[in-house]
A and B are shown apart, each in its own frame.
Chain A
Amino acid sequence: MPDNWGFVLAAYAIGALVLGGYWRRLRRRERQARQRPAIRRAPARPALSTHPRPDPGARP
């Protein structure tokens, strides 16, 4: 059987590209996560089932 070194090197090169590419992607995401300022979620407000009624005491 021929040695097919081309196939061997192709498999190893793709392995290096895939694993190296994922490692670089993780590094980039880690840098972004570190730089991103904390975004605080707004506290949940209770949902209104009807239109708010005006306070009768506040009428002139």
Chain B
Amino acid sequence: MLGWLTVTGLAAGLIMGLGVAPREVTQGNVQRIMYVHVPAAWVAYLAFGVVLVASIVYLATRARAADRLAHASAEAGVVFTGLAIVAGSIWGKPTWGTWWTWDARLTTTAILFVIYLGYLLLRGMVDDPDRAARYAAVVGIIGALDIPLVHFSVLWWRTLHQPPSVGRPQASAMDPIILTTLLVNVAAFTLLYLYFVVRGARILRRQEEAVA
């Protein structure tokens, strides 16, 4: 059910992003990359936020289910962060003239990616599952401190990256079709994230049961 809903959402997002949404006036068609880049970045925030909450719950209760949720969410978060970085880089070349710059938003996002990649590596390096879960929970909580830095970096520092276009009172009004297309893609990526996490957590449970 969730899988089919996700496929439908992604198909709708793709059709709207490449066909229905109008050509943006200043950037031209290259702005259509936003429909991949922004939803991927949003889902990355969500995924690492879930890691934060699940890690706190695990440390408080030692519930294995909370650890599995944190693990599966971190894995999906790394995938979506990587995609946000690559899509942003492809968007940056024709608009900024460079694939990469050590701008505050890009740098804090790269740090977020490396922190959670380290989180996954740490889990793989510690043999004792309880100890691995405990260490990972601590990294998951500390790593989440970077999320507000990523989000507010465009407001706190002078950056090449544009400030958020949605959710800011003084932001310029977005064309309703562009906004709808963006929201459809955000919803579709969120569903895909949920699908990945549900499946990932189920695999981790099976693996735990196999060695129990």
Contacts and interface: CB of A to CB of B under 8 A. Distances in A.
A32 B39 CA distance: 31
A34 interface: yes
A23 to B, nearest CB: 7
- Dominant SS among interface residues on chain B: helix
Nearest to B195: A23
B97 to A, nearest CB: 12
Contact of A3 (B18, B28, B91, B192): B28
Contacts of A14: 83, 86-87, 90
A19 B185 CA distance: 14
A15 B207 CA distance: 29
A11 B29 contact: no
Contacts of B17: 12
Interface residues of A, number: 27
A30 B203 contact: yes
B158 interface: no
14 contacts: A1-B94, A2-B28, A3-B28, A8-B32, A8-B33, A11-B87, A11-B90, A12-B14, A14-B83, A15-B83, A19-B79, A22-B196, A23-B196, A29-B203
